[in-house]
Amino acid sequence: MQAPVAVFFALEAESGCFEDRLKRAEYQHAAAFRTVSGTFHGVDFLVVQTGAGQKTAREIAQVVCRVHSPRMVISAGFAGALTKGLKKEDLLFPSEFLCKGQPILTLQSRLKLGILPEKSQLGGRLLTVDQIAADPQTKRELGVKFQAQAVEMESYAVAQTAREMDLPFLSVRVISDTVDETLPRDVQKLAEQKTTASRVGAALGMILGRPSSVKELWGLYQTSVSASARLADALEAFAKADLFRFCSENFAVPQEERKLISSGD
């Protein structure tokens, strides 16, 4: 078996559509995370579900990269838009990665739009934070302060691990909520659940405590299914390419650029 492409997702809601497309899928459950190995268009993939947040993403990425020695690392998942230029279900392939108090990580890539699904944006800055940005005011403030186009909770940690281990890296994020959209107030609690059973339990608790949340949860579910399919489309575009040559020509190890002026704020 050739070295796999390791794709790190936070949640099953993000990885589900891509997992469904894998051939000869094999599932393994570790104490803190879940992996799915399989092939897609002749490419070996290792899908890793880390759970939400930087700390767990970094710890699990380090373990997985040491054990499996992937030939490329991808951080994939949902993100919130911080500017009006990104619409729901747009795909973002950022070239800069930020996390408060950390140096900017940059990618030099010759990736071309021609191989990607429609509504894809190359370049831009992705901000990694510790809490979901759920309301428009918070999103706008983050966008202005960090000059970032989108926000999520794991990519910086995975990019940092790839840099330390000298592995080619890519991040693909699908916009799940626009800058003007308000997320359900309990969405952070749902994201923090580690298992499907615990997420179902949390959702039921929300419904019992606030019956009006049924409509919000259904909308969130519909959005997640469409967004997950968009991620699967993006990964399929890469799998169809001659990946050995393609990776070496188009991707690099993340490089440290400089410190944020506001990193100590």
Distance, CA of 259 to CA of 103 (rounded, Å): 4
Closest CA to 111 of 86, 88, 87, 94: 94
Distance, CA of 262 to CA of 152 (rounded, Å): 19
The SS3 assignment for 211 reads: coil
Output the pLDDT for position 87: 95
Non-local (6+) Cβ contacts of 146 within 8 A are: 98, 125, 127, 260, 262
> How confident is the prediction along the chain (265 residues), in pLDDT tens digits per residue?
568 999 999 988 899 999 999 999 898 877 778 899 999 988 899 999 998 889 999 999 999 999 999 999 999 999 999 999 999 999 999 999 999 989 999 987 777 767 788 899 989 999 999 988 888 999 999 999 999 999 999 999 999 999 999 999 999 999 999 999 887 765 545 455 455 545 444 444 444 454 444 455 545 667 778 899 999 999 988 888 776 566 656 677 888 875 543 433 4
Written as one letter, the residue type at 91 is: L
Q: Which residue has the tokens 């930087």?
A: 54
pTM of the model: 0.84
Helix-, strand-, coil-residue percentages of the chain, each rounded to 5: 40, 25, 35
Distance, CA of 211 to CA of 207 (rounded, Å): 5
Output the pLDDT for position 13: 86
Please state the domain extents for the chain.
5-251
User: Per the structure block, which two tokens stand in for 56?
Assistant: 């767990």
Pick the CATH number of 5-251 from 3.40.50.1580, 3.40.50.300, 3.30.70.580, 3.30.980.10: 3.40.50.1580
Output the pLDDT for position 29: 79
Output the pLDDT for position 47: 96
Distance, CA of 75 to CA of 107 (rounded, Å): 13
With left for phi above 0 and alpha for psi between -120 and 50, is residue 7 left, alpha or beta?
beta
The DSSP code for 2 is: P
Distance, CA of 127 to CA of 259 (rounded, Å): 14
